[in-house]
Amino acid sequence: MTIATVTKKFDEIVTDHFDLKSQWPGWDVELVLNEDNCTYLLLNHDSREAVWVDPMREDWEVLQGRTQAFRQKGYRFLTVVDSHTHADHISCAADLAKAADCPRIMHERAPSRRIDLRLSRDTILSAASAPVKLLCTPGHTPDSVTVLWGPFILGADTLLYGDTGRDDLPGGDPAAHYDSLQKIKAHAKPNMVLLPGHDGEGGRASSWATQLQISPSLTQDHENFVREAGAYVGPSPKILKESLFENFK
Dump pLDDT digits (tens) for 3-43. 579 999 999 999 999 999 999 999 999 999 999 999 999 99
- Considering the chain, what is the average pLDDT of its residues? 96
The rounded distance, in Å, linking the Cα atoms of 2 and 249 is 23
Question: What CATH number does residue 243 fall under?
Answer: 3.60.15.10
The rounded distance, in Å, linking the Cα atoms of 40 and 42 is 6
Q: How far lies 1's CA from each of 66, 118, 167, 170, 199, in Å?
A: 13, 29, 30, 29, 19
The rounded distance, in Å, linking the Cα atoms of 97 and 100 is 5
Is the distance from CB of 219 to CB of 212 less than 8 angstroms? yes
The rounded distance, in Å, linking the Cα atoms of 40 and 23 is 20
Q: What is the pLDDT of residue 59?
A: 97
Burial of 123 (0-12, 13-18, 19+ CB in 10 A): middle
Q: Which helix (H) or strand (E) holds 203?
A: none
Is the distance from CB of 126 to CB of 76 less than 8 angstroms? no
Confidence of residue 1 (pLDDT cuts 50, 70, 90): very low
Q: What is the pLDDT of residue 157?
A: 97
Tally of residues, the chain: 249
% of the chain residues with pLDDT over 70: 99
The rounded distance, in Å, linking the Cα atoms of 249 and 247 is 5
Q: What is the pLDDT of residue 187?
A: 98
Q: How many domains does the chain have?
A: 1
Q: How far lies 218's CA from each of 122, 192, 221, in Å?
A: 21, 15, 9
The range of the structural domain enclosing residue 169 comes to: 5-247
For 169-209, what is each residue's pLDDT tens digit? 999 999 999 999 999 999 999 999 999 999 999 999 999 99
- In this prediction the pTM is 0.97
